[in-house]
A and B are shown apart, each in its own frame.
Chain A
Amino acid sequence: MSSLDPTTDSGRPRSFWRSLDERADTPEFRQFVEREFPAWADEMLEPASRRRFLQLMGASMALAGMTACRWPAEPIVPFAHRPAGFVPGEPLHYATALELAGAAVGLLVTSYDGRPIKVEGNPDHAYGLGGTLAWHQAALLDLYDPDRSQHVAQREAGPASWDDFVAFARPHFDALRAVRGSRLAVLADASSSPSRADMRARFTAAFPDARWYEYEPLSRDNAREGARLAFGRPQRTHVALDRAETILSLDEDFLLHHPAAVRYARDFVLGRDPDGATFSRLWVVETSPSLTGSVADRRIAIPNRAIQAFATCVLAKLVHEAGADLPAALDGLGPVLDAARRHPMYGRVDADLVLDLAGKAGRTVVLAGPRLPAETHALVHALNATLGNVGRTVTYTAEPDPDRPSHAQAIRDLARDMGRNFVDTLVLVGGNPVYDAPADLGFGDLLARVKTSIRLGAYEDETSRVCTWHVPRAHIFESWGDARDFGGTVCLIQPLIEPLHGGRTDLDLLAQLLGEAPFAAYEIVRRTFARGAAEPDPRAWHEALRVGVVAGTAWPEAGPTIGTAGWSKRLRAALDAPAYPEPGSYELVFGPDASVIDGRFANNGWLQELADPLTKLTWDNAVIVAPATAAEMGVRHGDVVRVTRSGTSVELPVFVLPGQAPRTVGATLGYGRTRAGRVGSGAGFDVYPLRVGDDTAWADVRVEPTGRTYRLATTQDHFAIDTLGAQERAERAVTLVREVELEAWRHDPQHAMPGEHAVAPVELWKPHEYPDERWGMAIDLNACTGCGACVVACQAENNIPIVGKAEVARGREMHWIRIDRYFAGAPDAPEIVHQPVTCHHCENAPCEQVCPVGATVHDAEGLNVMVYNRCIGTRYCNNNCPYKVRRFNWFNNQKHQSDLEVMIYNPDVTVRSRGVMEKCTFCLQRIQSVRIQARNEQVRGENGRAAGRLIRDGEIVPACAQACPTRAIDFGDLNDPESRVHRKHASPRAYRMLAEFNVRPRTAYLARVRNRGGHPEGAA
């Protein structure tokens, strides 16, 4: 019963903490939480700033007198011919798809009077199931980015037109066709589009001697090569996480950085139903803390180079100690497994892990991440085969385009050809190789020497700058196209809006270069869809456009046979390599960024301001260092260090994050762009210069302090729910985020939860009654992975401004929903909990009781509503809010926006001005729209025109709940005993945060369930 007790062995409460500053209760942290508005003091203490304030006041008074004369006249501009099915002012939803990392996720985009304003997941798409990640939500902001390139450009002549380009391209490519395309090359970004594949085939047919290369800086080619080693042909691995009892993830962040992440997150959570029959245990072996690692039951942090040896030892232990039968085809691994016994990692393989894996044929899953070498992937196929998972929890499909060289090889080959002057004409479709190609290639210089280079890109970025022609690329929501999801199903991409700046798609450009008709993307997609027929079947075509996916196009399951030829020896040799870097150097692990990925979203303010799930860092990247390593290096959080790899140095700030493996440091790619645009240029630090040669996963580096410091804008201590001092905080935190151990839960759900302060409520006045609807929310911490999709979805839905790094550093970020990340346990092996916090709509709301002007009041359904026009900005409400979920508009954030930027606003939500408080409304606009609809039908039922009805459960979905890939958030009527939210509120796992204040929050959290097994504290 020890795990039932919230106290640890030492008798102190198990403490949760948000940052090392908080844990140590440093002066910095205390200062931050003691000041409600931390920026207040600086601001008022600076005389210059006060003068500035008075100037601004004076100016706005003068303007106020002038603008109050007349209402502006507003035109009404109806259609000349209103399209069928279009109702002015009513949103329409169109199915399309967004491709990231070479696989698509189906989307439904809301279009309001022709303007796309919101992205949702397509529930009909098997790899999205209605969920999205933050990138899908934020892709919309790029559409209205004023920095997007707006015209064709020629390097010498400057701005040009598409006609100029055609006038150049037609004779140029006619001439190339005559010489079979010799000295012509194409460098394209990865694409799963069948139409692109078709155009590529036509291109190769027209220019047989031309070379076609494909490059992505963060590719999953190691997995392809690993499957080639194991099976003789590249295979794609699919896992059924909902059916697994044990999941061993080797450096694979399948909840975030995986082409099927949305689906896998859903499956993973489905397999962890505390009330269901199975509840999986997740083991994660990784180097840098990842989102997947943060939800692990057991996490082992070792250097990236040691993971392969670890995996070998797992297999060895399974075979030697747990009696697993190595399939005959894997006999070649025998000597390797014998040698593994003597490896230092052999002892690190936890006996619990072996127990969890052994004897559960078809009920476990082992995954390997894209950073790991091909041999590790082959070994993982061997592990899954030995564990009997193949065909049950692990299936394979054949990889498309099996013969293409790896991305790393392709860019190297192209650079070699360019260096030898073998390339006269280079067509670059997307990508940004000047920024993200391996630094030792000197790609920018090589590209500048190519006689004719044509770049199709959304921005005039680092690459376009050195090309002779730049053609603006249409945004995905302006494009016709198609793409395949991770399982091969084709998703159609249809435009929501005409290209705003005359952009072209990759299909348009290729069609032009081939001399086919321009504006061809639509015809090309239809041609591909028709599969050889002259015209697609109109009914099938329209159905596919409506649903967004083309049924029956998924790849068939393959049954590859495994072998060990060629890689078992390499595996054996790798065992002799050291598991740790040499003394004096550290292993730097490169990773994709949770916001900008590889740099492609660098100019996206929503993503820049979205706090990283682990570091809670905004607008920057940093070098991630564990506390012990930082002490060893003699550096502190925020110190700038020089990271050197064989002569190349990059300077970047240190972020001390518990959980990074010893002797290693981590850094994400995609920052430090020089020509990203107004938002992304200069944000963060470019670590691509350290990513040279073939070692794209990690590199041994030296780390030296520079003596300088850098201000990092991390939100980890923002809005800390503080009471009195560290001890009180530690005690209270146990009640803020609650966990229960699976065994205790199964033993006795009614008493498994840690106790809460029993407070007999004393009512100062008679509580209100809510006879009709009583809206409430339930957030399942067991389902929340902390990915941040809800934060961006809320920002898009509710017109929430971007405030910039300086304001974030002052604690002025405007997000209505934030995800608090708590660490628990020791700093060297912490456990992590993610907790989304938004307005709880307290029935006894403290904010309402202190507002001097009644600007925040309750409505008849108990929503705590914010009346912007009444608000005079005293901010008392925020001061009195125990959850710290109110946000103040310090500036007129939308004042200087262009006509293009304001197109993104949701017309159903008021845009707030300076001096006004705001906060989560439970998506009031969605409630009202459903309510009016339902009531209209109800009243008309009296007249016999339509059936009367009430609002159905699940009909109202707030933006955060709709975006969530794991359905962690439920919303509905607490008065309806059948509603999902009511059932969740009634669960024994449910608790109300700070209920002891008698604020009666409408939001309930469901405790996180840990399945640690043997270890009570999970530290391995």
Chain B
Amino acid sequence: MQDHGKRPLIFPKWVDSLRPVVFGVASIVPVYALVLLYYGGSPRTTDVGYMPAQPVPYSHTVHAGDLGIDCRYCHTTVEDTAHAAVPPTQTCMNCHTGIHPESPQLVPVRESFSTGLPVRWVRVHDLPDYVYFDHSAHVSRGVGCVECHDRVDKMDTVVQAQPLSMGWCLDCHRNPDPHLRPLDEVTNMVWEPPGDRAELGARLRERYGIAPSEDCSTCHR
């Protein structure tokens, strides 16, 4: 090591004794890679079934299902912007000043409304920060809410139903036809295609000029 200036990157002799260790590690690597691949794709990793408790036991079953309120009544920005914004407390209170005004379950909502402090909801569908998903680009091309979020109208507590992995995104980008519907049925949770779904999808794809991109730059910036 003294004359490292001349022979800088040559290892000393005792390193040879490490050879068995190196080979040992190298033989484990394929096993490790397989395990990594298996767990990397498992629902446990992709968070399918993630169902965190929310500060208010808001039920989509009641609101979207039984009462039939359109998704866009609360998620107002979904057609125009990237985010399907969680509504402000004001939206809840539009109805709940009159309906169940004393409900103990709504205490956090009423508190938020009077103090102006927000309700801290827990994000369920959480994409990595390097993914730039845009709701408007999908909703205004005839991709229904239900395609990614499943039957939210049957969820008392919202649960992540799809893996939201890149492969899953690409499945649809490569073959969008079975996932398309007319624009006015986008928020309809119970819509059934009148005939062959794929055939209708192909027609809609033509009509809306849909050519889903598989470029990296579509979602990553």
Contacts and interface: CB of A to CB of B under 8 A. Distances in A.
A869 B220 contact: yes
Given A88-B85, A939-B140, A81 B90 contact: yes
A869 B130 contact: yes
Interface string A34-60: 000000000011010000000000000
A942 B83 CA distance: 23
Contacts of A857: 216
A73 B9 CA distance: 45
Interface residues of A, number: 42
Contact of B8 (A45, A88, A940): A45
Contacts of B4: 45, 47
Interface string B72-87: 0000010111110111
A938 B207 CA distance: 11
A936 B137 contact: yes
A943 B209 CA distance: 13
A425 to B, nearest CB: 41
Nearest to A910: B130
Interface stretch (B21-29, B117-125, B145-153, B187-195): B117-125
B129 A78 contact: no
B55 to A, nearest CB: 9
Interface string A882-926: 000000000000000000000000001111000000000100110
A868 B130 contact: yes
A87 interface: yes
A76 B123 contact: yes
Contacts of B209: 938-939
A924 B217 CA distance: 7
Contacts of A724: none
Contacts of B88: 78-82
B8 A909 contact: no
Interface string A87-99: 1111000000000
Contacts of A939: 140-141, 183, 208-209
A455 to B, nearest CB: 36
A765 interface: no
Interface in B1-58: 1, 4-5, 8-9, 47, 52
Given A865-B216, A921-B221, A78 B87 contact: yes
B122 A78 contact: no
Interface residues on B, range: 35 or more
Contact of A942 (B52, B126, B207): B207
B126 A88 contact: no
Contact of A932 (B5, B123, B136, B208): B136
B221 A932 contact: no
A430 B134 CA distance: 45
A936 B136 contact: yes
A78 B216 contact: no
B221 A45 contact: no
A942 B220 CA distance: 29
A77 interface: yes
A763 interface: no
Interface string B89-123: 11000000000000000000000110111111111
A73 B122 CA distance: 7
A636 B132 CA distance: 52
A89 B89 contact: no
A932 B217 CA distance: 13
A942 B184 CA distance: 12
A871 to B, nearest CB: 11
Contacts of A47: 1, 4
Interface in A336-358: none
Contacts of A87: 77, 80-81, 85
A1014 interface: no
B215 interface: yes
Nearest to B85: A88
Given A47-B4, A79-B89, A859-B217, A89 B82 contact: yes
Contacts of A924: 217, 221
A867 B130 CA distance: 10
A685 to B, nearest CB: 34
A156 interface: no
A932 B83 CA distance: 13
Interface in A842-861: 857, 859-860
A983 interface: no
Given A88-B77, A865-B215, A908-B221, A71 B47 contact: yes
Nearest to A72: B126
B134 A78 contact: no
A76 B81 CA distance: 17
B156 to A, nearest CB: 19
A910 B129 contact: yes
A859 B1 CA distance: 49
Contacts of A932: 82, 134, 136-137
Given A44-B9, A87-B80, A865-B215, A75 B122 contact: yes
B89 A859 contact: no
Contacts of B83: 88-89
Given A80-B89, A81-B89, A87-B85, A867 B216 contact: yes
B187 to A, nearest CB: 15
A71 B122 CA distance: 13
Given A88-B86, A925-B132, A939-B208, 14 more contacts: A44-B9, A45-B8, A47-B1, A76-B86, A76-B122, A78-B88, A79-B118, A80-B112, A80-B113, A81-B113, A859-B216, A925-B221, A942-B183, A943-B184
Interface of A: 44-45, 47, 71, 73-82, 87-90, 857, 859-860, 863, 865, 867-869, 908-911, 921, 924-925, 928, 932, 935-936, 938-940, 942-943
Complex A-B, nearest 4 residue pairs according to Cβ-Cβ distance, in ascending order: A859-B215, A89-B83, A82-B88, A88-B85
9 contacts: A73-B122, A80-B113, A88-B81, A89-B85, A859-B215, A859-B217, A867-B216, A910-B130, A928-B221
